[in-house]
Amino acid sequence: MNRFSRFIVSRAHSFRHAFRGWWFVLRTQRNAWIHALITTLVVLVAFWLHLQLRDWAVLVLTIALVWTAEFINTALEAVVDLASPELHPLAKVGKDVGAAAVLIAALTSILVGLLILGPPLWGKIVLLVTR
Alpha-carbon separation of residue 84 from 62, 89, 97, 100 (angstroms): 32, 10, 16, 20
pLDDT higher than threshold 90 for residue 74? yes
Mean pLDDT value across residues 72-80: 97
Q: How confident is the model at residue 67 (pLDDT cuts 50, 70, 90)?
A: very high
Q: What is the pLDDT of residue 4?
A: 84
Mean pLDDT across the chain: 95
Domain chopping of the chain, boundaries: 31-130
Could you confirm whether 70 is annotated as catalytic?
yes
Q: Which of 46, 63, 70, 98 is catalytic?
A: 70
The pLDDT of 43-67, averaged and rounded, is: 98
pLDDT at 9: 87
pLDDT band at 1 (very low <50, low <70, confident <90, very high): confident
What are the tens digits of pLDDT across the range 19-54? 999 999 999 999 999 999 999 999 999 999 999 999
CA 92 → CA 15, 42, 84, 88, 123, distances in Å?
Answer: 31, 33, 10, 6, 45
The whole-number pLDDT of residue 119 equals 97
Predicted TM-score (pTM) of the model is: 0.89
**Can you list the pairs that 120-126 forms with residues at least 24 positions away whose Cβ atoms lie under 8 Å?**
120/49, 120/51, 121/45, 121/49, 124/48, 124/49
What pLDDT score does 5 carry? 87
From CA 65, how far away is CA 104, in angstroms rounded?
A: 10
Residue range 31-130 forms a domain whose CATH class is mainly alpha
